[in-house]
Amino acid sequence: MAITRRELIKTSLPVLAGVSIGGLSVGCGGATMPRTAVTHGPLEGLAMGATRLEAYDVFLVRTEEGVAAISGQCTHAGCGVAPRGEGFHCGCHGSEFTLDGTVTRGPASEPLPWFAVRIEGGDVVVDPSQTVPQGTYTPIE
């Protein structure tokens, strides 16, 4: 099925403009953020290090301190970052972040925000509508 130029522009503009569609905010590079709490799944299966929250630019980070949720939306211009080495890399303009979201290379100048995490019935739940201070891990009991 061919897509017309009009259909392509209609579906692409909101993504390029960085607007909200159906509960998602979409950044300039296509980064997506849920607006309400999202259940990732069982804490038991969450690996150490960074794991992408499926379908979103949010990373669950599990360390010895517990579990945290860190935005995967670059603080420079909103592109999605990707895990690289011991942290995150933004492919749009080359910013680098540590695993806790601290900027180690610009042009980004602000750290990646942290979001509230809770454990409900053994599942990891992330609430991107609530930011928390960097370093706020939810303990794993």
Q: Which residues contact ligand FES by CB under 6 A?
A: 74, 76-77, 79, 90, 92-95, 107-108
Distance of closest approach, residue 96 Cβ to ligand FES, in angstroms: 9
Distance of closest approach, residue 32 Cβ to ligand FES, in angstroms: 14
Which CB sits closer to ligand FES, 29 or 34? 29
Which CB sits closer to ligand FES, 82 or 140? 82
CA dist 28 and 17 (Å) reads: 6
Among candidate residues 101, 104, 107, the one with its CA nearest the CA of residue 131:
101
Distance of closest approach, residue 126 Cβ to ligand FES, in angstroms: 21
Which CB sits closer to ligand FES, 66 or 107? 107
Distance of closest approach, residue 111 Cβ to ligand FES, in angstroms: 13
Torsion sign, CA atoms 130, 78, 31, 69? negative
122-to-41, 118, 119 alpha-carbon distances in Å = 8, 10, 6
Instruction: Specify whether the CB–CB gap between 61 and 72 falls below 8 A.
Output: no
